[in-house]
A and B are shown apart, each in its own frame.
Chain A
Amino acid sequence: QVQIQQWGAGVLRPSETLSLTCAVFGEPFRGYYWHWIRQPPGKGLEWIGKINHSGSTNYNPSLESRATISEDTSENQFSLKLTSLTAADTAIYYCVRGSDFWTFEYWGQGSLVSVSS
């Protein structure tokens, strides 16, 4: 069964850039959709964007100008960069796999990112 391990971030300052990476183990990287989803403390889920097996990306329009999702298929990894951080970007960030574009099947453990001056 697929295992997703994620790392990066922690505490960042306003205007800095967030960088997170997920590694995939146990199953092929290609052939799936790889998403980033975030959840502010005590609040709901927000889809950030996705990259698929052909490298095609889609983003939440509200974050598209600041978010970049990329992949490294040789390392079975995919990454998120989010620029111009503000306190509103404080959240748990999840990397997630789907067999199709619209379903979130397997979730990473989540990484807490705090933006504070």
Chain B
Amino acid sequence: QSALTQPASVSGSPGQSITISCTGTSSDVGGYNYVSWYQQRPGKAPKLMIHDVSNRPSGVSHRFSGSKSGNTASLTISGLQAEDEADYYCSSYRSGSILLFGGGTKLTVL
């Protein structure tokens, strides 16, 4: 069982928006703005999509955005495209210099 809780799967049609949640505790997600999101396509290494809750690295599409409320962080993908189909993982810093991952969410573009 992962320390951070994500839905196992989400789906959406092209052009729609979807949101993936990542729920932790006040010792990790809720206590620090150190949440990141990663996209992993089959057979590939993960790719950083969002860091520090809501910041996009250079080169990442503006269709990807992040937010946080309380102990839950969220990744929203707007204008869904076929190429967005992948697994998505959240990560967070936890007090005591520990880093955690969520269990991952499989995004299916219908």
Contacts and interface: CB of A to CB of B under 8 A. Distances in A.
A7 interface: no
Contacts of B92: 102
Contacts of A35: 99
Given A44-B103, A44-B104, A45-B46, A104 B36 contact: yes
Interface of B: 2, 32, 34, 36, 38, 45-48, 51-52, 57, 89, 91-93, 97-104
A47 B101 contact: yes
A109 B45 CA distance: 6
Q: State the main secondary structure of chain A at its contact with B.
A: loop
Given A44-B2, A44-B89, A105 B48 contact: yes
Q: State the main secondary structure of chain B at its contact with A.
A: strand
Interface residues of A, number: 19
A94 B40 CA distance: 13
A58 interface: yes
Nearest to A49: B99
A79 to B, nearest CB: 19
The 6 closest A-B pairs by CB, nearest first: A107-B45, A102-B34, A102-B93, A47-B99, A58-B97, A44-B104
A107 B97 CA distance: 21
B101 to A, nearest CB: 4
A116 interface: no
Contacts of A58: 97-98
Interface in A84-117: 94, 101-105, 107-110
Interface string A42-70: 00111100100000001011000000000
